[in-house]
Amino acid sequence: MNYFTLDGLEVPFEEGDTLMSAARREGHYVPHLCWHPRLGQSGACRVCTVKVNGRLAAACTTRASADQMVENRTTELDAKRRLLLQMLFVEGNHFCPGCEKSGDCLLQATAYEMGMTGPRFEEFYPDRPLDASHPDTWIDFDRCILCKLCVRASTEIDHKNVFAIGGHGIDTHLVVDSPSGKLVDSRFSADDFAAGVCPVGAILPKRRGFVIPIHERRFDRAPVAEESWLENDASTRESTDDTGGHDEGA
């Protein structure tokens, strides 16, 4: 068995493992937004940035090797992550007290873990249209953080290619592949893996917003860094039954 060190601890890894996958399998928390154990590599959000032998690298895309000394939860790295989170919060409309996803939102939980107490920057207040055309699912584009999880899930697992990312710079946005651009006219189904993989409140099931009461939700039960992360399909199904979404398994 090969090992790398993560904050001074030995972490075993298998051939082909990324730093993230090996660390998560051993129960080590590496902050992230765009990573999921069932999906391929992305590196979209960079919240998982670590130092590998003194150089910055994304833990979700960097292959593990035996000569690596990895720094993860340091004051410097958490400050960089907090800065990324502050920019994500002001780029969209993330009003946690009024959001159906509050308490079950990975963005919100990670912000708490990184010690974020305010937005720091001036909010953009984007005005993007809602898509409530589908009978079972709606999309709030204001909350999308462009993590590409729904894009990858629809491509890699559902094999429908319902979602894509379009535009450039500040105009980058989520796109629905249908003649009208509406979800109802796409191949999307409420039981798709892409329907529940969103880490924020951008893609949500209708008529289930408060089935799980506030204070009883995923990150109300345990902070994100203290969860017991399980990567098998059984845990994913259990999480789906509890929350109505296909999250990482808690």
CA distance 172 to 146: 8
Q: What is the dihedral of CA 150, 104, 82, 55, to 10 degrees?
A: -50
Domain count, the chain: 2
Instruction: Find how far residue 123's CA is from the centre of its chain.
Output: 21
Residue 246 lies in a domain: no
Domain co-membership, 44 together with 121: no
Domain co-membership, 9 together with 68: yes
The structure tokens 């809602």 sit at: 130
Q: Can you read off the two tokens belonging to residue 140? A: 């709030």
SS3 200: coil
pLDDT digits (tens, 9 = 90+) for 42-51: 999 999 999 9
pLDDT digits (tens, 9 = 90+) for 73-124: 999 999 999 999 999 999 999 999 889 999 999 999 999 999 999 899 998 8
Give residue 244's pLDDT band: very low, low, confident or very high (50, 70, 90).
very low
pLDDT digits (tens, 9 = 90+) for 15-34: 999 999 999 999 999 999 99
pLDDT exceeds 60 at position 171: yes
Residue 228's pLDDT is: 55
Residue 226 lies in a domain: no
Domain co-membership, 30 together with 49: yes
Domain co-membership, 114 together with 192: yes
Residue 240 lies in a domain: no
Query: Who wins on pLDDT, 245 or 224?
Result: 224
How many C-beta atoms lie closer than 10 Å to residue 239's C-beta?
Answer: 19
CATH code (residue 57): 3.10.20.740
What residues make up the domain containing 162? 77-209
Helices (H) and strands (E) in the chain, counts: 6, 10
Domain boundary among 73, 107, 131: 73
Domain co-membership, 62 together with 165: no
Residue 231 lies in a domain: no
Q: What are the residues whose beta carbons fall under 8 Å from the beta carbon of 186, sequence distance 6 or more? A: 160, 162, 176, 177, 178
Domain co-membership, 57 together with 165: no
Domain co-membership, 52 together with 92: no
Q: Over the chain, what is the mean pLDDT?
A: 90
Residue 237 lies in a domain: no
| pTM of structure | 0.89
Domain co-membership, 89 together with 173: yes
Q: Can you read off the two tokens belonging to residue 166? A: 């379009």
Please state whether beta strands 9-13 and 137-140 pair in parallel, antiparallel, or not at all (unpaired): unpaired
Domain boundary among 21, 51, 73: 73
Q: Kindly write down the DSSP assignment for every residue of 118-140, as one continuous string.
A: S--SPP------EE--SSSEEEE
Domain co-membership, 99 together with 172: yes
Residue 227 lies in a domain: no
Residue 236 lies in a domain: no
CA distance 188 to 163: 9
CA distance 10 to 4: 6
Domain co-membership, 51 together with 157: no
Domain co-membership, 82 together with 12: no
CATH code (residue 137): 3.30.70.20
SS3 6: strand
Instruction: Answer for the pair 145, 33: CB distance below 8 angstroms, yes or no.
Output: yes
pLDDT digits (tens, 9 = 90+) for 216-228: 999 999 999 997 5
